[in-house]
Structure 1
Amino acid sequence: MPDFIFFAHFLRRRAWLLLAAPILYGLVAFGWSQRLAPVYQAQAMLQVSPASLSSGDIGAIAASERLASTYAQIIVQPATLEATIARLSQNGAAPTWPLAVTAEPIRETQLIRLRVEGPSPAAAAQVADAVAQTFIETNRMRQVARFAASKTNLEQQMAALETQIKQEAAGSASSEVLSRLRQSLSALTASYETVRLAEAQASDNVTVVQPARASARPLRPRPLFNALAAAIVGLTMALAAALLLEALDDRLNSAERVTAAIALPVLATVGRSSGLDQSGLVISQAPHSAAAEAYRMLRANLRFTSLDRPLRTLSVVSAEPGEGKTTTAANLAVALAHAGQRVILVDADLRRPRLHTVFGVSNNLGLTTALLPDGGPLTAHLQPTAVPGLHLLTSGPQPPNPAELVGSERMVALLSDLRQAADVIVLDTPPVLAVADAALLAHASDATLLVVDAQGTRRRSAQRAMALLTTAGAHVVGAVLNRLPLPAGTYGQYYGPTAP
């Protein structure tokens, strides 16, 4: 299931590329194919006959099959094609396009399949027939020339033998000598007839069994096929590019990536919220929204993480500034107060405090004044909020030495006093990688929550923050994936207000 979820998130993030590339490739291939001149193909069939008297002789048939393979090679040789062009030129039909001729023997037959391409069905068929006839005539002439030498030699021997027989008969030759000469003449005559018969059979051993036929549909281009093939190529390239982008993208923009990078469970996923004021208190301003429900889910999941270890103080940290830790701390504190708990929210970011702005209160008194030796009782520095059960301890005036102040014994004593005054203490700390304050506060807390910005936090930053927290001895219970873009309507309608 995690692999399926990761793949689903991957498809959603890269959908634009995975859809645009095949569509673009397909359209370009289709348009390019439409502009190409059509090419048609004609096909003719030739048969190579056995050269022996007995056409059913297995050896002769096997020889014909081997000969068909040889003839297929000869047909496509330049000499044959040049002779074909010359033949067509005599009739004023010379091809004006480069000849594309293929010939292949059909296995376990005496047939040769001849294919020719042309700009029209008629032109392709005409050239195919011309190639076939040219080869047949050339082959016949070749066979005639091959047997001519044998015939001439036999004719000369026969003429010489006849002259010798006449001379011997006119002289005193014995009948035995004449009989032997006549037998030799008969043997030569038989050989001559055999050569003549072989010449006749060999010269006509190739015939056209199927004249050239061309399909009315062009062989190429095939716009739809080319578009489909290009779309597949585009999809393949887009998938490769998407995987490369995914590998190069080190943002922690999914729960799976967060868990894989820092080995923490994601306790809540908070989507982007719109229509809120600068406070960002979505749980108060939009209690039925998906983001508000995410903070309530965070509240519930935190309880599950602290079944064996009481959670009285919780530090909310982030790796870098601007990743949403203050908004998370404020909304979580409100959610805990809504559950009936007494909550004190502490602004421990002494360098860039924001909680007094979020809740619209004064920052004249706060954490720094409570840590003074003559600061007075803790209650004098706490400020009530509009949320029942939630009190705020702002940062107070900015001190010259925040790290020394946060790491002092007075801070430890103050945290102890805060535990006595409330059920849960939520600390909004500085960024972990910016200053040492966050690690000190996390060490002093019962649990730490790491906020990850789905659009800004990088893998290496989160890992460095986790390393620092681990070195400090912090008990990091989980992460909050913040500002995750959610498809419209995925949660909003479900968590919308219901009728009374």
Structure 2
Amino acid sequence: MDPHDYWKALRKRWIVIAILGVVGGGVAYAYAESLPDSFTATSEIFVSPTQGQTTSEVLQGSTYTQNLVQSYSQLATTPAVLAPVIAELGLDTTPAKLAKAIKAETPLNTVIIQITVTDSSPELAASIANSVGASLSSAAIGLSPKNSTDVPSISMSIVTPAQPAVNPVGPNRRLLEISGVAAGLAAGVLYAIGIAVFDTRIRSPRDIERLTETPVVGNVERRRRRSPQADGITMRMAPHSLLAEDYRRVRTNLEFADVDNPIRSIVVTSAMPGEGKSTMAINIALAMAERSIRVLLIDADLRRPSIATYAQIEGAAGLTSVLVGSADLKDVIQPWAPNVDILTSGTIPPNPNQLLGSTSMARLLQTVIADYDFVIVDTPPLLPASDALTLTHMTDGALVVSLYNSTTRQRLTDALAALSGVRARTIGIVLNQTKPKARDEYYSSDVTKMVSPTADEKTPDEKPHTEALPKPSESAVAPFAELRPVP
């Protein structure tokens, strides 16, 4: 993925990212509000030596005290100091739990011990700090060395008693809320990028171009709701629609795929079933017939044939009947549309691969390619069956249909690799049923009305884009009555 893909993934799922950000902020807000306010109170104890008459003795005593003051500060969180505090204040806790709320520090190069207590009650925090200071003084004096007169070598006195705090020091609710929003947004970003990385479905021609050098010869949008081509075959139901233009672009690209050796026969296949290959074959046949050329559509999918169903014609006799010698080719080819004939699959055989790879099939294709201007062969998908691999060698190449937001990159790669493995030619790839884009309706609005439902059939929310044009008179139409398409 390049930076554009990351940006596209974030833009596509920005709503999810925003929702997760809001959820993260809401959870953090609820958590922050559930936390009680905490207050701190600090008492300071001064440690001094009790012995020394001369300046030298006083200096030695000061150095001695400074060396021991760190040990005295650590003594503040021991049970020997905290147990009397709990008993004095009647606290419902243990020395170990109380020690977590106490912090004893000694500023550098000083003999002062700072005892800081954090609690939800400012008064209780101050009481604990002062009580710890007094208990520490007793414990330290009791542990300090004594002279011959039983006088301790040090003395401790509280020089700054703790006072109840006015303002709480925690929790930092704003920081928690900002952190929650940031965590939610980060989770949304990771989700969006993770989906883009691990979701290998093809969504644009650019995805195909990264996989293979085979050109993308078409991009057919999916049918719009309430459109004239919503049911049936697009090139017949709505030949002037924008969707029909997509099929004409495929036709044009096929015509110019090889200028030196024009393509006259193709195999239409796909990687997996359900990707629209049969519908694509029918519409391409109708688009080709608009050039006033004779087109033959062959249903060579002898496993799940569908051309007869789509075309609404009889399919009992067809390709298999000719291959097994029970019918003549000219007897089973059925005219269907202007310049379009169809050879249905016929009865489904038990050995489709052997029939399609037989010499009879090769001779049949040679015959129809010589008789028709363009031949389209609808075959089974490439990955479940190998029929298309054999038929591709009998034609000018394969047109692979890929379904938008369904076909995965791995499946398309495997399908193309199967064609390449037998040295079959892949003419191009068509991305089918892509997301409709907003396109200019200028050239298709009027003609779409000609094939759209009547005014009585329209739903109330369907409104014409322009006013209805006046009906032309018979005298105006008469000069064009004899016009016919030029071959």
- Write out aligned runs for 1:6-45 (5 A): 6-8=5-7, 10-11=9-10, 23-36=22-35, 38-44=36-42
1:325 to 277, 292, 297: 277
Residues 67-119 of structure 1, C-alpha deviations (whole Å, 9 max, x = no match): 44333312222222223234435xxxx57795321223445666555332222
Q: In the alignment, which residue of structure 1 is the partner of 2:105?
A: 104
Q: Could you tell me how far 1:411 is from its partner in structure 2?
A: 3.7
Is 1:48–1:67's contact at 8 Å kept on the other side of the alignment? no
Residues 464-487 of structure 1, C-alpha deviations (whole Å, 9 max, x = no match): 433432333311244333345x4x
Q: Could you tell me how far 1:325 is from its partner in structure 2?
A: 0.8
Per the normalisation by structure 2, the TM-score is 0.69
1:465 aligns with 2:387: no
Q: Could you tell me how far 1:40 is from its partner in structure 2?
A: 0.9
Q: Could you tell me how far 1:357 is from its partner in structure 2?
A: 3.5
1:393 aligns with 2:345: no
What are structure 2's unaligned runs of at least 5 residues? Answer: 447-487
Distance 1:258 1:62 in 2: 79
1:214 aligns with 2:165: yes
Distance 2:23 2:166 in 1: 31
* AA partner of residue 276 (structure 2): G
Residues 243-290 of structure 1, C-alpha deviations (whole Å, 9 max, x = no match): 77777756555656656667755544445424344435279538554x
1:281 aligns with 2:280: no
Change (3 A) 1:414 1:130: same
Change (3 A) 1:431 1:44: same
3-state DSSP of counterpart to 1:46:
strand
Per the normalisation by structure 1, the TM-score is 0.67
3-state DSSP of counterpart to 2:272:
coil
Distance 2:65 2:208 in 1: 73
Distance 1:63 1:294 in 2: 94
Residues 21-74 of structure 1, C-alpha deviations (whole Å, 9 max, x = no match): 5554543443344344x141314263656758889x999988776544333312
Q: In the alignment, which residue of structure 2 is the partner of 1:314?
A: 266
Distance 2:379 2:315 in 1: 16
Distance 2:220 2:237 in 1: 15
Q: In the alignment, which residue of structure 2 is the partner of 1:412?
A: 362
Change (3 A) 1:339 1:107: farther
- Write out aligned runs for 1:229-378 (5 A): 229-230=179-180, 232-233=182-183, 251-252=201-202, 264=214, 266-275=216-225, 276-281=229-234, 285=238, 288-289=241-242, 292=244, 294-299=246-251, 301-302=253-254, 305-306=257-258, 310-337=262-289, 343-363=295-315, 367=319, 375=328
* AA partner of residue 232 (structure 2): S
Is 1:349–1:395's contact at 8 Å kept on the other side of the alignment? no
Q: In the alignment, which residue of structure 2 is the partner of 1:425?
A: 375
Q: Could you tell me how far 1:440 is from its partner in structure 2?
A: 1.6
Distance 1:342 1:48 in 2: 109
Q: In the alignment, which residue of structure 1 is the partner of 2:455?
A: none
Q: Could you tell me how far 1:331 is from its partner in structure 2?
A: 3.0
Q: In the alignment, which residue of structure 1 is the partner of 2:44?
A: 46
- % identical aligned pairs: 28
Change (3 A) 1:450 1:229: same
Distance 1:430 1:330 in 2: 15
Change (3 A) 1:40 1:4: same
Distance 1:347 1:408 in 2: 16
Is 1:44–1:213's contact at 8 Å kept on the other side of the alignment? no
Distance 1:311 1:108 in 2: 93
Is 2:10–2:193's contact at 8 Å kept on the other side of the alignment? no
Q: In the alignment, which residue of structure 2 is the partner of 1:480?
A: 430
Q: Could you tell me how far 1:314 is from its partner in structure 2?
A: 1.9
Q: What RMSD over aligned residues (CA atoms) do the two structures have, in Å?
A: 4.6
Number of positions where the alignment pairs a residue of Structure 1 with one of Structure 2: 432
3-state DSSP of counterpart to 2:145:
helix
Query: Which shows bigger deviation, 364-373 or 438-447?
Result: 364-373
Is 2:43–2:129's contact at 8 Å kept on the other side of the alignment? no
- Write out aligned runs for 1:435-454 (5 A): 435-454=385-404
Larger Rg: 1
Higher helix share: 1
Q: In the alignment, which residue of structure 1 is the partner of 2:438?
A: 493
Is 1:132–1:208's contact at 8 Å kept on the other side of the alignment? no
